[in-house]
Structure 1
């Protein structure tokens, strides 16, 4: 599950690392802004994976192949429809997002190129989310892992050819990710269809089921929107402090991606295992899997903190060799060191909530964390500039975990019935 989790975020890491070794920081800043916009959009659509994983896990636990086929059909219909709409609206999305972010003038053309190219992969990227939901919900983590390996192999190969070989810099980075998205979607759909004995001819729409599916997706969409608005502020507001700080935050955000490789992998596990146990109507097994995965979440959080404390500066040097970016990034490293300890609870609780289909609770606790965590700390931290942004993000992650724990305690035994 941990290895399978690297598919989407590793695209941004590879692009950032290769672009970060070009001589001019403007390319890294442009890719950072462009990737932030694209990630904001794609991560809003993560409801497709989350809802699919929860439903597939419960249907898998109940032993119903027909329900699994139905959930795949509904997910693909939404993914392809939303993806095509995003691709067609790419120029408008690019113009609007860059107007909101308001980066320095020299970054706008490059960031716009990146965004518009990447959005043409939207149908593939969203289909991949659905197929990952199927594979993870059925506990076929080995195939999900291979999807990640294939994605990154294609992306690295295309990055080397287009960025280094053809000197296409930002355009090359975007095109490499686009190609990787379509290759991954094709393979993921083939594996999902084979596992479920599904074909396009067998697509049926159950109005009641798709209404329920849309309701769950709507709750997770709002949850994801609030999360991505907070995360996008880290790049968008930093753009007001200059292109160098945008590049610094782009580098430091890769640490959060590294954290997510382990912590989200554990969350995926509890989604599948607790969801399957709920499908079998076995509360004892739900509690068992929650305790085991929480233990692993704590272990990984402590390990990440130790690694970042001992080797954080070296990791920064691997991502970029631009002197001013390295120097400034080291100043903010203490925030990165504490991040796993304050944030791992929210990752784990997300997995529990998805496995138990508590989408409304996910939505409400995310909104509460933004209102009582991120916004007040961001406002108080404005005089601190970039340090204030990292303080707000740390507080936001901590409050998410606290509100999720409180709600789960209030709901009590009812959620595992």
Structure 2
């Protein structure tokens, strides 16, 4: 082989290794951190799954799903923080990094207080739409009323996670998330089995974990400080240009989150009207799907951070390599989860509940869980590319179109095919999001992709 060809091959191999290493350095800790997130809901589901009363399991799963949907509405805070911090960090603007974190943390605390304070008024108005019956609603209300007391801490924790990810400090995010979930598991076991806390004990354990998590995060971030930034300036902190940018990003990402919230509501609604057994079985499968989503989303989160840094530094090569590595590694992860569910899905379900009718129903629909990782990875990674480059309008519009298609299709599909129709409609929603984003991305030149959307 000629020397030039050998050198070119070696350079390509080094480049491939480099892009995979850069992605894994951020993604692996984020995957592990993400995998701990649904443990808060899974811990409650697993403990409640062994209660004598099936309504308690259904109530906890409904309540946890409800709280998860509400908090999902505010994921725009983390995505905005990650994108802006990553681009500022790539441009070495430490003042903007620090100011963004302070602005958004204050906003998160205010929003959390607004969410928690009147929860006793608005939650009872929404729960009947799930059609789950009075016994299940009562247990769900117990759980939700307690869980939302931690809303200020939970939303501030979202900002801390976005900041750490934007600065590519993924190991710190992992340590904090793992610590919070370990506290949650220990408290849940103590309150439920040690103090006979029941549904209330599961909820209080999550509250303690969320406040402990944000306390640890603030100590870590404040301890590191911002030595390269000038003193904090109130004038700059309330600068209308920065506030407007965050406002535009937040608006579009909030609309995107609202649309996804509608899809989650419809999934829960059409599960609940099929009865307690289907509701509980689908809840278990959705928790497992969320587990897969958090794993693949680890690559999407890493993509947001690395794309943002590449745009801030105007580094076209890094942008290309980030996109390629994200799809390669997400594909491997999707295959691994599908294989786990294919070979061990039955054992996983039995671990989560001792009720044979619920377990049997969950196993009946396990094939959808095996298929979904291959369908969803495209929407997750393309989301990471568009959000990292702050092209959030495209992420918003494609999500709106996909959820509209899901909302139109789900009722006739459910009437025709039952629960299979429900899961098939959900799979179509995820596939459509990925296809629409892929088409837009393919129409952009690399220079356009390197340009910040806002």
> Normalised by the size of structure 2, how large is the TM-score?
0.89
TM-superposed CA distance for 1:208, in Å, is 1.4
Indicate the SS of the match to 1:226.
Answer: helix
Deviations 1:288-335 (A, max 9, x none): 111011100111111111111111111111111111101111110111
Contact 1:373–1:399 at 8 Å: present in 2 too? no
Mean CA deviation greater in 331-340 or 92-101: 92-101
Cα distance in 2 between the residues matched to 1:166 and 1:233: 36
1:415 and 2:444 are equivalent in the alignment: no
Deviation, 1:409, is 1.7
Of residues 389-398 and 231-240 in structure 1, the stretch that sits farther from structure 2 once superposed is: 231-240
**Following the alignment from structure 2 to structure 1, what is the Cα–Cα distance between the partners of residues 120 and 138?**
12
Q: Which moved more, 1:171-180 or 1:371-380?
A: 371-380
- Give the Cα separation in 2 of the matches to 1:174 and 1:237: 25
Which residue, out of 200, 215, 218, partners 1:186? 215
| Counterpart for residue 128 of structure 2 | 99
Q: Deviations over 1:161-183 (max 9, x none)?
A: 11111222211111110110100
1:388 is the counterpart of 2:421 = yes
User: Which of 383, 386, 389 is residue 356 of structure 1 equivalent to?
Assistant: 389
Q: For residue 257 of structure 1, what is the aligned residue in structure 2?
A: 290
Q: Does 1:46 align with 2:75?
A: yes
Aligned to 1:370: 403
**Does 193-202 or 67-76 show the bigger shift?**
193-202
Q: Pairwise mapping of residues 11-410 of structure 1 onto structure 2 (< 5 A)?
A: 11-197=40-226, 204-373=237-406, 375-410=408-443
* 8 Å Cα contact 1:128-1:185 kept in structure 2: yes
- Alpha-carbon deviation of 1:50? 0.5
**Contact 2:38/2:290 (<8 A) preserved:** yes
Provide the C-alpha distance between the structure 1 equivalents of 2:398 and 2:80, rounded to a whole number of angstroms.
17
Conservation of the 8 A alpha-carbon contact between 1:33 and 1:236: no
Is the Cα contact below 8 Å between 1:68 and 1:196 reproduced in 2?
A: no
Give the deviation of 1:148 after TM superposition: 1.4
Unmatched 5+ stretches in structure 2: 1-29
Q: CA 1:396–1:196 in 2, change beyond 3 Å: closer, same or farther?
A: farther
Question: For the residues of structure 1 that align with 2:74 and 2:37, how far apart are their CA atoms?
Answer: 12
Q: Alignment partner of 2:38: what SS?
A: helix
**SS state at 1:411 partner:** coil
The structural deviation recorded for 1:242 is 1.1
How far apart are residue 142 of structure 1 and its match?
0.7
The offset of 1:398, in angstroms, is 0.6
How far residue 378 of structure 1 moved from its aligned partner, in angstroms, is 4.2
Is the CA contact (8 Å cut-off) linking 2:82 and 2:304 kept in structure 1?
Answer: yes
Question: Larger Cα Rg: Structure 1 or Structure 2?
Answer: 2
CA distance in 1, matches of 2:393, 2:298: 22
Report the TM-score when normalising by structure 1. 0.96
Structure 1: 4+ residue segments shifted above 6 A: 198-201
Number of aligned residues: 417
Contact 1:375-1:392 within 8 A present in 2 as well: no
Please give the alpha-carbon distance, in whole angstroms, between the structure 1 residues aligned to 2:210 and 2:292.
Answer: 22
CA distance in 2, matches of 1:56, 1:196: 15
Structure 2: distance between partners of 1:333 and 1:142: 33
Q: Is the 8 A contact 1:158 1:176 kept in 2?
A: yes
Take 2:302 and 2:282, find their aligned partners in 1: how far apart are those partners?
30
Distance 1:114 1:273 in 2: 38
Q: CA RMSD in A?
A: 1.7
> Partners in 2 of 1:310 and 1:8 — Cα distance?
24
Shift of residue 375 of structure 1?
A: 2.9
Deviations 1:356-389 (A, max 9, x none): 1111111001011112345324433323222221
Contact 1:83 1:126 in 2 (8 A): yes
Aligned mates of 1:363, 1:262 — CA distance in 2: 22
Q: CA deviation at 1:93?
A: 2.5
